[in-house]
Structure formats: C-alpha cells, structure tokens
A and B are shown apart, each in its own frame.
Chain A
C-alpha cells in the first residue's frame, strides 16, 4: 500500500513539473494575447462609459468613471441629432435588403451548386469575379444610372444597390453550403414524389438553413455598418441610415464640441452588431472559415 502510494506520488511529480514548464513556456502567449484583448475591451468599454459622462468629465478626467450617469447624452443623440430616425431607416433598409438578398441569392446558389447545365462553371466564375471588383469603381456609373431612374436620395434606391452589390458574395458562400449537402436526400425525395421545386423548397432549403442564417448575419452586419454607398446615394438627412447619421454628427461635433453625445451615437451604431456577435460568434467564425478553408 505505502509502496504503491509512493509510486503514484513519484510518477505524479514529473508530470506536474512538465505542466509548470508548459505554463511558463506559454506565458509570453498569455501576456501578448491578454494585452491585445485588454486593449480592445478597454477602448470599446471606454466609449460606452464616456457616453454616460458629462462633456466636462470626458475632457477633464478621461480615465475616471462617470460620477453621475448622463442618459441625456442618448436623448440628444436620438432626438436632436435625429439618430433615432436614422436608426429606424437602417432597420428598414437593412431588414428589407437582407431578406431580398437571401430570397434572390439562395435559389441561384442552389442551381449553381447542384444543377447540371452548360456554362455553369463560367457563370460561377462570373459571379465570383464580382467579389474582386472594387466598389469605388462603381460610384459614378451607378450614380448616373440611379439618377436616370430617379432613385437617388431614396431608401428604395439604396436598397436596390445593396441587394445588387451583395449578390456575388452571398451566392459564393451559399454555393459552398449547398454543395456540401448529401445527394441521396434529393434522390429519396424524388422517389417520394417530389418535383424539383419541392425538393428545393422542402428538402434542400431547410437543410441549408444554417448556411442561410450565416449569410444573413454577414449581410446584416455588413450593411448595418455600410457607409460609402450610403454617402454616395443619400443626401437628404431624413433618408439617412444610421452610419451616415453618425458621420454627420461626427462632423458637426467640430463646432459643438459635444463628445459625450457623439459617443452615445457611437454606442447606438455599434451595440446591435456587438450584441449579435456575442450571441452568434461561433456561427460567424465558423462561417468565415466555411467559404475559405476546405
């Protein structure tokens, strides 16, 4: 018994030493990753705190906690700076755009991934090529086109642009999802008497729903944050999405000096996407790797 116990202890000791050594070897990694993460959390957390301070405190004591929470900052940003209206515009524009992007891209991706027809590879390449075209190239030609259709300075026009320019990327990731689905499910559905549309609607589409959700999240975050196209196509403050509203608030800040109100605006812009990321980060991160790592 005693001998056995000694034995166990002796064999445990080198293992523990190995664990100690491992921990020391990993120390630089902890320090580096820890410092980087801390910086990110502190700066973003700082904005959230500063959005609840008075302007005096923001300037005088940037590193102190707010003495009294100033929720008026949010009221100023939401009402006076009209970010409330802009927020609602973003909800409408992004919501409609994301739904239509998926409704249009999913069938196309399905066909590109699973149907056999001449020119399929060429068509796939043409779609993917869109990912490489820099948006700034399209600023002037698209503006001229939309002006001709009387669609500049309107939410409808911006939605149309968002849908069209999101198609290549969305088709690309959805094609990846559809092509991984097993073929025997299609076949057994056909045996059960489904026609090709029903196979898509009742078998493949539900199976691809994780992929469609991933595409929805990416498009939502991308379009919620989108700024350059909104800048080109919307001049009327009433039609502005939130990102553009924050930009104009940032510029007017040069005159008003209301940093606290501006930081409240920053929080309004970033809270929805951060919240979504906290809830769905695993799905998003695996979504990035889906398309690129095979």
Chain B
C-alpha cells in the first residue's frame, strides 16, 4: 500500500520535533557546554577549550567514580550474565514452575529503585537490619554488627543488590532465545551421540549468540549511566566510595547540601559517559561478530 507524502510528514512531525528539540539538541549542547567554565545557571560562560577534560585527568574523584562505573559494567556484567545463563539452563531443563520462577526472579525490575534502596539500606543496617538480625539469630553474633555500608564494603554491598535486581531481565531475554531453538536440533544431536556439554557448546551457544549480543549491549548502555541506586542508597550525601560517574556528575552540577554548580566541568563527565557507551558498543559488536564467524 502507498502511504501519501502528506501522511508520512504528518505522522513523523510531532515525534521528530520533540525528539530533535528536547533530546538531540541538548545532546549537542552538552558537547559545547563541556568546553566552557560555567559556574551557575544564569551566569556568564567562559570558553576554556579542552581545559575541563584536562582537569578530569587529574581529578581523583573522577577516576574513582569512573572506576566504580566500569567495575559495575564489567564485574557486574560477568556475574549477571553468568547467573542468568545458569538460571536459563536450569529453567529450560524441563522443571516445574518455570513461569513462576521466571516471574519472581524478574520482579525487582518492576519496582522503583528508590523503594529498593530503602529496602537494601535496611537489610544492611548493622544489628537491627534484616541481615544483621538474621546473623545474630543463627548465632553469628560477631558478624551481626558488620558494617556492610562502611567505606570499604559499601561498593560491594551495592553491587550485590544491583545484581539481584538486574539478573531477572537478562534471564527473561536468554530464556526467550533458548525457547526459539527448535527441539529437533537437540534430537538430531542426541541421535548422533552428542553429550550434554557438546550440545550446549555446538547448538545452544551459537544459536543464542545474537540474543547474547543484544543483551550485552543493553547492559552496557544501562550500566554506564547507572545513577539512581548509588545516589539514593545511603541518604542525603552518598558515600564517596559508592559514587558512580553519573553520581559524581550530578553532584558537580547540582551539589548536595552546598551547591557546587560547576556546570561545564560536570557536562564534560557526561560527554565521557557517552564516549564510553560508543566505545563499548563498538568493541562488543566487533568482538561478537568475529566470534560468530567461527561457526
């Protein structure tokens, strides 16, 4: 059927206009703002070239927070995909209640992060918290008062909670991929005497490759901008050790108790985030494409 030019224009106009003015334009303005020294909305902007980026290189907090973001991306990613994979294999092994398990494991994904950080904040509270009280009850009294939210452990405590939230989403994705693999493939392999492991390696993995690639791209985009969990985990002033790049960026731009308003410098971190997204997506596409050619 031919759709007239007028209708095409009419249908595309509202979405494209909003997307252009309130999404693409600010994205490009961000690149421009990152080249200015700008100390507050409504004040003058001074062009400083790449000075903000130079300063980032020697900013300890930037590297700490960017390091945390990358750790969530890589270590978190490996654990999340590892767990999602194991769960996918378990659920698709013909057990009962597969839909129920899938739904419950997915459940945290529909709950507001701010509700989940409140919950996890209480889980980790020493002595009175859920974990502390539980450890005390089973006799591990010396562990009951362990400061899970202390500076040394807060990042890892947070990572555990993030993994618990995210696994379900990638489980649903991988399970759908596995469901798409025709049962005949396994039948044929079984007739040829293939072992369970061989079938996994030669059938499941190759046929799941595209889904896996999409899953990893989605996780990278999501992980690099992670903000809400670390920001709201520990009250009004997040612990520095749980900063992610996005949290540090927010604090530089809008401040906490005291406003900071280093708007240009803050935006430079945002630009770095976008560059990391682009880099990671390119690397992933390259990596996954090369591997695929082996089959």
Cβ-defined partner of B225 (8 Å) among A136, A165, A243, A289: A136
Interchain CB contact (< 8 A) of A29 among B7, B93, B133, B211: B93
The answer to the question of B115 belonging to the interface, with a C-beta cut-off of 8 Å to chain A, is yes
Interface of chain B: mostly helix, strand, loop or mixed: helix
Residues of A within 8 A of B75 (CB): none
Q: Is the beta-carbon distance between A140 and B266 smaller than 8 angstroms? A: yes
B101 at the interface (CB under 8 A from A): yes
A207 at the interface (CB under 8 A from B): no
B203 close to chain A: CB less than 8 A: no
How many residues of A are in contact with the other chain, CB < 8 A? 100
B3 neighbours in A (Cβ, 8 Å) = 111, 114-116, 196
Q: Does B14 contact A (CB under 8 A)?
A: yes
Tell me which of A4-12, A66-74, A183-191 binds B: A183-191
Cα distance A228–B249 in the bound complex, in angstroms? 12
Let me know if B130 and A62 touch, CB within 8 A. yes
Whether the Cβ atoms of B7 and A111 lie closer than 8 Å is yes
Interface residues of chain A: helix, strand, loop or mixed (majority)? helix
- Find A134's partner among B18, B103, B273 (CB 8 Å cutoff): B273
Does A88 interact with chain B (Cβ within 8 Å)? no
Nearest opposing residue in chain B for A285, CB measure: B172
Enumerate chain B residues within 8 angstroms of A266, measured Cβ to Cβ: 115, 118-119
CB contacts under 8 Å to A, within B100-115, are: 100-108, 110-115
Which residue from B14, B23, B41, B274 sits with its C-beta under 8 Å from A147?
A: B41
| B85 vs chain A, min Cβ distance (A) | 13
What class of interface size applies to chain B in its complex with A?
A: 35 or more
| Given A63-B134, A165-B23: A227 and B250 interface contact (C-beta under 8 Å) | no
Q: Please indicate the chain A residues that have their CB under 8 angstroms from the CB of B21 in the complex.
A: 164
Judging by beta carbons under 8 Å apart, are B270 and A136 in contact?
Answer: yes
**A168-B19 contact, Cβ under 8 Å, with A107-B11, A134-B224, A187-B1:** yes
25 sampled A-B residue pairs with Cβ under 8 A: A40-B107, A107-B11, A107-B15, A116-B2, A116-B3, A133-B27, A134-B246, A134-B274, A135-B225, A137-B271, A138-B26, A140-B263, A141-B26, A221-B110, A227-B232, A228-B228, A254-B236, A266-B115, A269-B114, A269-B115, A274-B107, A274-B111, A276-B110, A289-B172, A292-B218
Binding site for B on A (CB under 8 A): 22, 26, 28-30, 32-33, 36-37, 39-41, 43-44, 46-47, 58-59, 62-63, 104-105, 107-108, 110-112, 114-117, 123, 126-127, 130-145, 147, 160-161, 163-165, 167-168, 171, 183, 186-187, 190, 196-197, 199-200, 221, 224-225, 227-228, 232, 243, 246-247, 250-251, 254, 259, 262-263, 265-266, 269-270, 273-274, 276-277, 281-282, 284-286, 288-289, 292-294
